[in-house]
Amino acid sequence: MVVRRSLSDAELDGLFRALADATRRDIVARLLAGEPASVSTLAARYDMSFAAVQKHVAVLEEAGLVSKESRGRERIVRGNPERIAQARALLLELEQLWISRFSQLDQVLSDTHPPRK
């Protein structure tokens, strides 16, 4: 089984690096479960500075997990479910690859050591 990737290695590294942080995962989850939100609205939900939340959003945006648009003085952030779907598809393919390999190993082991009576 060959894993087909729709993302480059650099894109995958950025995606999983962005998702490695609990605050960023929470931001993505909030945005995907609800409506788009301004950076200041997001910042009000965390015990950190506006600038820190802004940096988290920038990492998520670079990874393609969120997008920002200007609306007057506010920056509105929205989740990108398509990017999450791409990550999920890759992880499912990797899971199937490992299941297949373990099945092959089980077969080799059962052929090598017949059951005892």
pLDDT in the model for residue 24:
97
What are 26-32's contacts with CB under 8 Å, separation 24+?
Answer: 27/53, 27/56, 27/57, 27/60, 27/66, 27/77, 28/60, 28/65, 28/66, 28/79, 28/84, 31/66, 31/77, 31/78, 31/79, 32/79, 32/81, 32/84
pLDDT in the model for residue 110:
76
Between 49 and 107, the more confident residue is 49
Q: Which fold has domain 9-112?
A: Arc Repressor Mutant, subunit A (1.10.10)
CA angle 31/23/78 to nearest 5° reads: 20
pLDDT in the model for residue 96:
84
pLDDT in the model for residue 115:
63
pLDDT, one tens digit per residue, over 23-81 is 999 999 999 998 999 999 999 999 999 999 999 999 999 999 999 999 999 999 999 99
Q: Is this prediction's pTM over 0.85?
A: no
pLDDT in the model for residue 114:
64
Burial of 36 (0-12, 13-18, 19+ CB in 10 A): middle
Q: Where are the domains of the chain?
A: 9-112
